[in-house]
Amino acid sequence: MAAGGLGRRGVLKGTMAGLAGLAVRAPLAARAASPGGLRDLTDRPVTLTVGGAPAVVIRGRLYAKLLDVPETARWIIRRQPDEGQDVYTVESERGEGGLVAPVDGEDQQLTVQPLAVLPALSPRFTPNELWRLAPADDQGPGFTLQSWSTGRYAGRQYWAEDRSLNPKKVAVLPREVSREDARIDITAV
């Protein structure tokens, strides 16, 4: 018998139910929010959690991976004051590039590619490389990641996902999706 009076079969059944819950958007317990909010998370390594699953890069595209996450992607959120208030780039810690929103009409999945810095006195970025970050709510480290170019939020497309435990696409969401459904947890490493 395992702890709590459950046999091996009960423990296995509970674990599988928990994993299946991740596939259909059951939230994980929220971690404590950073006391300084986004200010404490900029210019230092962070991880992104989308719909309860860590964000990973697979072949240049962003996914929420439900199983077998040996190493989650680590990011640096950099404020871009020359581009506007609360405007950021989300860059790979390894220098592989940054999060790039698709242009309308393209595949809506976010990509990770080298950022195209435009020539200027200070770095300037193309609009689809820039993001607005704002607290999603007052519960935990959740933020919304909104494309500066389209105004659409990033997140998982739950209505288009299968119920498997395969990695799930992280994409820009349709305009009718509310910001509450676009929560992304950002945690300092």
Other C-beta atoms closer than 10 Å to the C-beta of 176 total 6
Q: Contact 117/153 with Cβ under 8 angstroms?
A: no
Distance between the two ends of the chain, CA-based, in angstroms? 36
Residue 13 and residue 55: Cα distance in Å, rounded? Answer: 26
User: What is d(CA 165, CA 105) in angstroms, rounded to the nearest whole number?
Assistant: 28
Ordered domains of the chain (ranges, CATH): 29-188 (2.80.10.50)
Q: Could you report the per-residue pLDDT of 132-187, keeping only the tens digit for each? A: 998 887 666 789 999 998 889 999 988 888 889 999 999 999 888 877 778 899 98
The reported pTM is 0.76
